[in-house]
Structure 1
Amino acid sequence: MEIVLSEDFSSVSLFVAVVATACCCVFALWSLRSFSLSNSVFRRSRRSDGFGGSMAKKNCCCSCSCESSVVGVNGEKTERRTALGSEGASMMEQLVPEITTHALSYLDYPSLCRLSMTNSLMRRAANDDNAWKALYHKDFTVEQDNVTPLNGWKAYYAATRAIMNINAEFYNIIRERSLQAMRRLWLQADYVKCVHGSGELFSGYDAVLESWRMSFTLGPGIAFQIRDVRVRVLTEMAWVTMQAFVDVIEAGPFHVTNVFEFDKGQWYMVHHHCSVMLPDAEVDHQNWQVMFGLQ
């Protein structure tokens, strides 16, 4: 089969081919020129940086905390640090410290510890000394408002809670009448002392443990309640004052003082004193004179 092309079709095809070829040539020339200009600018910038020319580095205008080096007129370099913009701060960062402390004061001890493990911002807020001071006053007492703990209020709170726990363990041992647990609680030293509610004094580790053995074997256990617990902690010494209300004794409540010593990474009891609490009506001027030998 023979295909015949007309003259009009041949001329149109030739024109299209010529135009396409011309466009390709123009595009190739433009690409070569752009590449040459970019290399020239790069070489000039390298020479300027190498010989300390007048071209200065562009200063960072972002809101990040990066450090940018700026070349002065005389060629000296100065460091400029851009502060973090307020628009990038979180809601917690924008609060004043007083409001943050007040908000954290509603949290309890476990919640404040969990909050400090969420992220770095919450850790800084949860470790704030004022927050732990407020928590200490809420959980324990406001008597020590003027105290300045050596390692901060967080460490002071933890030490106070540890003393509260070991003091509660002491009375659980009495309820359970466990002599072995009482042995582990007391420090093995010759200067430990124990004064029971009867007023008798026992000095030394062996004598103190013997007094508790006799107390546990005399009769059944007694029921009592501990109230008004106050704790004071120093570096290696702590004491606890409280009131003990015994159900089976008609003599009335007792004033109790327990002293603990920190030895080899653990708190031990070194002193226990229990005395009968006198009613307010019996504490008169005459009793004070008899007590201090003035009569």
Structure 2
Amino acid sequence: MDGARALIAAGATAVCCLVCAFWAFRTSSSSSPSFSKKQQSPSLNCSGCASCGCCAAKSANGEMAVGGDNKKKAQESAPPEGGGASMMEQLVPEITTHALSYLDYTSLCRLSMTNSAMRRAANDDGAWKALYHKDFTVEQGTINPPNGWKAYYAATKAIMNLNAEFYNIIREGSLPAMSRFWLNADYVKCIHATGEFFTGYNAVMESWGLLFNWGQDGGQGIAFQIRDVRVRVLGEVAWVNLKANVDVDPVLFHVTNVYEFRNGRWYMVHHHSSLMADPVPHNMFG
């Protein structure tokens, strides 16, 4: 067992060295005139973007689509036979996945923009599964994303950012922003920590208007702090569970937020906040 771990560690070190060497090779090549001329070719579909965000955003399942011209350019820029790319392909998959597990989200995306061999390695489902488990908490251990772990990671990250935006709106006390954040439907529901229940878009917006005006003088927002955020995405529905407290107040609230994907974006459809009960010491005598 120790020998296998040593082999994996050695392989991971070798892969990291190869990646560094490959980046150094690309950096030196980019300074040549011929390379600059290729970079200015209008046949590229990424509009000169250095990160993978613009390309990845055009694909619904999180995978990058590469046309015939781009494939040729990737093959032309690949190292010769026996170089870093071919060695990457010859490595044991477990070693490759272990090495890629040290990369963060941005680095893994950039690696997928280098050449075909690196793209296949960076898009490996096992690498994205390891990154997901490292960055997020999985509620169900048996989850099997239908579109792969890369797409599920992107969806989870989008919901995390959206949920953070919700609490930024509360801190700012912006009713116009809150009105755009919710889905305009009669079935949306909001239960505030006071226990008041509101249903329907208009009633929910009125409740937020009252809360913002009551929270601070001048209609300012409330400084919520959030923790223990848990996200679950299932098709066009996502829900978030978390704990929240107001500013430095130690009193905690259990919060559930539900989102629906409509018309190309996510909207909030349900918010439920309730006071967390204090644990009561058990009385062994009843």
Common fold, TM-score beyond 0.5? yes
Q: Is the 8 A contact 1:195 1:273 kept in 2?
A: yes
Q: State the TM-score, normalizing by the size of structure 2.
A: 0.66
Q: Is the 8 A contact 2:86 2:117 kept in 1?
A: no
Q: What is the letter of the counterpart of residue 247 of structure 1?
A: D
Q: Deviations over 1:207-242 (max 9, x none)?
A: 000000000111323333100000000111000000
Is residue 2:111 matched to residue 1:125? no
Cα offset for 1:246?
1.7
| Structure having greater relative contact order (Cα 8 Å, sep ≥ 6) | 2
Cα offset for 1:284?
8.5
Structure 2 residue aligned with 1:257? 256
Could you tell me how far apart the structure 2 residues matched to 1:113 and 1:212 are? 39
Could you tell me how far apart the structure 2 residues matched to 1:175 and 1:198 are? 18
Q: Is the 8 A contact 1:223 1:248 kept in 2?
A: no
Cα offset for 1:140?
0.5
Q: What is the letter of the counterpart of residue 167 of structure 1?
A: N
Structure 1 residue aligned with 2:177? 181
Could you tell me how far apart the structure 2 residues matched to 1:89 and 1:164 are? 35
Q: Deviations over 1:70-96 (max 9, x none)?
A: xxxxxxxxxxxxxxx999972211211
* Percent identity for Structure 1 against Structure 2: 73
Aligned-residue Cα RMSD (Å) equals 2.2
Could you tell me how far apart the structure 1 residues matched to 2:143 and 2:85 are? 34
Q: How does 1:13-162 map to 2 (within 5 A)?
A: 90-162=86-158
Cα offset for 1:248?
5.9
Q: Deviations over 1:140-192 (max 9, x none)?
A: 01433311111110000000001001100000000000001001100000000
Structure 1, gaps ≥5 residues long: 1-84, 286-295
Runs of 4+ in 1 over 4 A off after TM superposition: 85-89, 282-285
Aligned with 2:200 (options 189, 204, 211): 204
What secondary structure does 1:137 align onto? helix
Aligned with 1:172 (options 168, 172, 180): 168
Q: Is the 8 A contact 2:172 2:222 kept in 1?
A: no
Structure 1 residue aligned with 2:32? none
Q: Is the 8 A contact 1:230 1:241 kept in 2?
A: yes
Could you tell me how far apart the structure 2 residues matched to 1:244 and 1:89 are? 47
Could you tell me how far apart the structure 2 residues matched to 1:119 and 1:86 are? 15
Aligned with 2:209 (options 200, 210, 213): 213
Structure 2 residue aligned with 1:274? 273
**1:88/1:218 Cα in 2 relative to 1: closer, same or farther (>3 Å)?**
closer
Could you tell me how far apart the structure 1 residues matched to 2:271 and 2:83 are? 59
Could you tell me how far apart the structure 2 residues matched to 1:205 and 1:119 are? 49
Cα offset for 1:126?
0.6
Q: What is the letter of the counterpart of residue 186 of structure 1?
A: W
Is residue 2:244 matched to residue 1:244? yes
Structure 2 residue aligned with 1:232? 232
Cα offset for 1:247?
3.2
Q: What is the letter of the counterpart of residue 238 of structure 1?
A: A
Q: What is the letter of the counterpart of residue 212 of structure 1?
A: W
Which of 1 and 2 has greater Rg?
A: 1
Cα offset for 1:109?
0.7
**1:281/1:169 Cα in 2 relative to 1: closer, same or farther (>3 Å)?**
same
Structure 2, gaps ≥5 residues long: 1-80
Could you tell me how far apart the structure 1 residues matched to 2:278 and 2:267 are? 32
Q: State the TM-score, normalizing by the size of structure 1.
A: 0.64
Is residue 2:186 matched to residue 1:193? no
Q: How many correspondences in the alignment?
A: 200
What secondary structure does 1:123 align onto? helix
What secondary structure does 2:227 align onto? strand
Could you tell me how far apart the structure 2 residues matched to 1:245 and 1:178 are? 19
